[in-house]
């Protein structure tokens, strides 16, 4: 999706708290929001529904960005540095379908970029379980999940503070 303010991509990488924090520190990312995506569309999800694993939703971060400052390829590079695409339905200590990894787009141009990038990424791994497809549906997560690690600096996350700082430094001078 592209708007006057920029573009949007949806990334699932296990628990959304750390992924949201790490993506928010990248230069050119204009907003991040935790949410739930690509589940059974007759159910409006909440955290308990998603954690049940019965309705197919995964935890995602909606990433709004300015493509004049940061490219989608750069965001995908950062994403794949933070996740392990060889793990199915888990990241860190988090287990279940809601913690699967995935990249979801809303427009054909982004879809083409994602597919091309992921084809190269797949060659680096003997197994690859990251879901790659268009966004089917998306719902914002409850307010207490938004900017969770800013509100709870010692909160659990499979993405460490050191990794978040590495992402900040590595992607502070990125080019589109």
Choosing from 5, 15, 34, 157, the catalytic residue is: 15
157 noted as active-site residue? no
| Nearest by Cα to 6 from 57, 58, 69 | 69
List C-alpha distances in Å: 111 to 16, 70, 150: 22, 17, 31
The 3-state secondary structure of the chain reads CEECCEEEEEEEECCHHHHHHHHHCCCCEEEEEEEEECCCCCCCCCHHHHHHCCCCCEEEEEEEECCCCCCHHHHHHHHHHHCCCCCCCEECCEECHHHCEEEEECCHHHHHHHHHHHHHHHCCCCCCCCEEEECCCEEECCHHHCCHHHHCCCCCCCCCHHHHHHHHHHCCCCCC
State the catalytic residues: 15
């Amino acid at each position: 999706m592209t708007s006057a303010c920029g573009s949007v991509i949806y990334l699932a990488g296990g628990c959304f708290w750390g992924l949201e924090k790490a993506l928010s520190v990248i230069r050119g990312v204009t907003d991040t929001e935790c949410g739930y995506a690509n589940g059974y569309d007759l159910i409006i999800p909440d955290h308990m529904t998603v954690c049940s694993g019965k309705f197919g939703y995964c935890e995602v971060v909606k990433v709004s960005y300015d493509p004049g400052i940061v490219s989608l390829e750069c965001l995908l590079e950062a994403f794949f540095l933070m996740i392990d695409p060889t793990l199915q339905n888990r990241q860190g200590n988090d287990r279940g379908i809601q913690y699967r990894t995935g990249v979801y787009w809303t427009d054909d141009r982004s879809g083409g970029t994602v597919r091309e990038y992921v084809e190269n990424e797949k060659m680096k791994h003997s197994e690859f379980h990251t879901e790659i497809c268009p966004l089917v549906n998306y719902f914002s997560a409850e307010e207490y999940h938004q900017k969770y690690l800013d509100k709870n600096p010692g909160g659990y996350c499979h993405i460490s503070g050191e990794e978040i700082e590495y992402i900040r430094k590595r992607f502070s001078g990125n080019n589109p």
